[in-house]
Every structure is written in C-alpha cells, then in structure tokens.
C-alpha cells in the first residue's frame, strides 16, 4: 500500500521524545520548526536542557527562541554546549569572539546569501548545527526559509532514490567564497579546503533517517555518475549528469517542505545543518539586517 502524504510527513518529522525540563514547543509549519519557550539563554544550560534541546533539534530541525537578549559571550557559551565551534575562514568575525561570524550588508551594499544551501558543506567535517542571533532587522522583509531535506528525500520517486543511492557529490568552497578573496587568499584556501566528496544521500547520525544532501551553493558536480549510470557517450553523460543535479537542487524549493521565519531583534534560530537547507530572503535592501552566527562542527557524512 502506498504511503499517504500524512504518513510520509509523520516519518520525516517525528514527535519529540518526552522532555525532562519545562520546555514548551510550538510547531511553526507542518514540515519542520518549533518555537521554544520556557528557557532563558542568558543562564548556563543544564545537562537535561542540552539533552532536551538536542532531541527537539533532531526531531524538528529548527528551534526558534524569541526575546533572548544575550551577549556575544553567552551566545558562544550556549553554542559550545552542543560541540566544538568552527572559525570561519572568510566571513568577518567578532573582535572578541572569533567563533561568531558577522552577517549582513549595509545601506550601500546588499547581502548575497540568497541561495538554498547547507552551511559549510565544503568541509571534510561539515556543520552539525548553526545558531543565528538577530541584532538588527528591517520592519518588513529579511525572512529566512528552512527546508526539511529528510522530507525532500522521502518524497522522491522510488526510481530517483535508486538512481542516487550510491552517488557522491563534490562540495567546494570556491563557487560561493572565491570572489571574496584575492589571488593569494584563494591559493591558501584551496590548499586548506580542497574539494570534498559527500554522499548524495547521507544518513543522519542520530535519527538514522536518510537525507538529500546536495545544495546549489557548494556542490559543483556528481563525482561518480557515469560509474553508477550507463550512458551512450560523453555528451549524454554530461547532459544527464547536469540534468539530475539540477533536479536535485530544485527539491529544496518546494514550499511543502519549508518553514519561514519572521525575524525580530533578539530572536535566535538554531538549526540542524545535516537535515536542512536554508535561504536568506534578500527583499529588504537598502534596509539593514545584521546577524551573528556560531557554527557547531559536525562529523563526516555517511
């Protein structure tokens, strides 16, 4: 018997395991996301709170905390409870806390993060989670969209799942960040961060769920398409490989897999980079939006 959409969605976004702390979770969309209340992020987290938040993160993929007026030091302390934090090699960083990147343009220059992506998938060990705090946002516009890539994989036709099951994609820092560097910086970045291959279908290390793990910002090509798919020649191989990759990119654009967040100052979003993509909507220029982000190092995709 075929699964209904409701059946698929239930598997992709399971209920949170019972919580041991007085957290309250309010769903944001059917696909993913909860607003979390009953916690003050200015205070150190207990082990029980960390466990409950991590369970909620795996289940719902995006956690939103409102009215959290925390300092940069408290931001770092909160993020560090979930793992080691990365130092981003390109984005500007906080002067006292290099774990925090500073995001946003100004009234003269628009920001440019408007592409569906997974943070730092070009690393050998991509991010487990990102924690983004809003400092300044426009009166209207500047929302962020997140996508449930477990659900995107689950709803692929079975023949597509079979086609991509053994494929690897090459992720590269240069398409998105090369233009921000001078030639010497590009040479140094290429040595430190060579292109890496990750499975097109990765397995979540905590839930065991399958995830469609390609994104348009950092994936340049499918590494072993020809080895896994019989083709008649080089021309058809190139065409079919590109068509498949574009098809996989487009899965992130389905509204049915998404949630959308309206920012306000002191709103914090924490998301699971293993199972989501996101898109910063650039509809507010020349108004200004400023954010700080900490990123938790993850593990090697498998």
Annotated catalytic, 171? no
Measured between alpha carbons, how far is residue 24 from residues 9, 34, 35 in Å?
22, 9, 8
Tell me which H or E stretch contains 50. Answer: helix 47-60
Average pLDDT along the chain: 91
What pLDDT is stored for residue 10 in this prediction?
Answer: 44
The answer on pLDDT for 131 being more than 60 is yes
Question: Is pLDDT at 236 greater than 70 in this prediction?
Answer: no
The predicted-structure confidence for 217-226, as pLDDT tens digits, reads as follows: 999 999 987 7
Candidate list 88, 198, 289, 293, residue with the active-site label: 293
Could you say which architecture CATH assigns to the domain 85-297? 4-Layer Sandwich (3.60)
From start to end of 60-218, where are the E strands?
A: 62-65, 101-103, 127-136, 144-148, 168-171, 196-199, 201-203, 210-212
Percent of the residues in the chain that have a pLDDT greater than 70, as a whole number: 91
Calpha distance 258→247 (Å, rounded): 17
* Tokens found for residue 167: 């494929």
Of the CA atoms within 13 Å of residue 86, those in its CB half-sphere come to 23
Q: Out of 75, 274, 278, 289, pick the active-site residue.
A: 278
User: pLDDT tens digits, residue range 97-112?
Assistant: 999 999 987 777 777 7
Is 278 annotated as catalytic?
yes
pTM of the shown model: 0.91
* pLDDT the model gives residue 6: 42
**pLDDT score for 247:** 97
* Boundaries of every domain in the chain: 85-297
54 is catalytic: no
**Residue range 56-104, pLDDT digits in tens:** 999 999 999 999 999 999 999 999 999 999 999 999 999 999 999 999 8
pLDDT over threshold 90, residue 254: yes
Please confirm, yes or no, whether 187 is among the known catalytic residues. Answer: no
Catalytic residue among 60, 117, 198, 274: 117
Could you write out the three-class secondary structure of 128-172? EEEEEEEEECCCCCCCEEEEEHHHHHHCCCHHHHHHHCCCEEEEC
Q: Kindly name the residue from 52, 119, 172, 272 that is annotated as catalytic.
A: 119
The yes-or-no verdict on residue 2 having pLDDT over 60 is no
> Residue 9 pLDDT > 50, yes or no?
no
């Amino acid at each position: 018997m075929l699964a209904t959409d409701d059946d698929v969605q239930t598997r992709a976004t399971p209920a949170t395991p019972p919580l041991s702390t007085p957290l309250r979770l309010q769903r944001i969309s059917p696909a993913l996301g909860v607003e979390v209340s009953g916690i003050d992020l200015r205070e150190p987290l207990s082990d029980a709170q960390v466990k409950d938040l991590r369970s909620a993160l795996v289940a719902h993929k995006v956690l939103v905390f409102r009215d959290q007026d925390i300092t940069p030091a408290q931001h770092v302390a909160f993020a560090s409870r979930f793992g080691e934090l990365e130092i981003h090699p390109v984005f500007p960083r906080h002067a006292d806390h290099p774990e925090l990147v500073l995001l946003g343009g100004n009234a003269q220059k628009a920001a440019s993060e408007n592409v569906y992506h997974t943070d730092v998938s070009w690393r050998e060990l991509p991010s487990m989670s990102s924690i983004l705090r809003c400092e300044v946002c426009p009166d209207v516009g500047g929302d962020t969209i997140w996508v449930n890539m477990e659900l995107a994989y689950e709803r692929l036709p079975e023949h597509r799942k079979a086609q991509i099951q053994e494929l690897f994609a090459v992720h590269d820092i240069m398409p998105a960040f090369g233009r921000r560097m001078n030639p010497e910086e590009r040479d140094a970045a290429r040595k430190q961060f060579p292109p890496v291959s990750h499975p097109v279908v990765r397995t979540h290390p905590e839930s065991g769920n399958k995830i469609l793990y390609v994104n348009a910002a950092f994936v340049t090509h499918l590494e072993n398409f020809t080895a896994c798919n019989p083709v008649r020649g080089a021309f058809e191989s190139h065409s079919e490989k590109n068509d498949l990759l574009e098809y996989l990119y487009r899965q992130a654009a389905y509204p049915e897999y998404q949630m959308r967040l309206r920012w306000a100052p002191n709103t914090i979003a924490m998301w699971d980079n293993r199972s989501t993509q996101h898109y910063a909507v650039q509809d507010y220029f020349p108004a200004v939006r400023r954010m700080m982000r900490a990123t938790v190092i993850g593990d090697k995709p498998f």
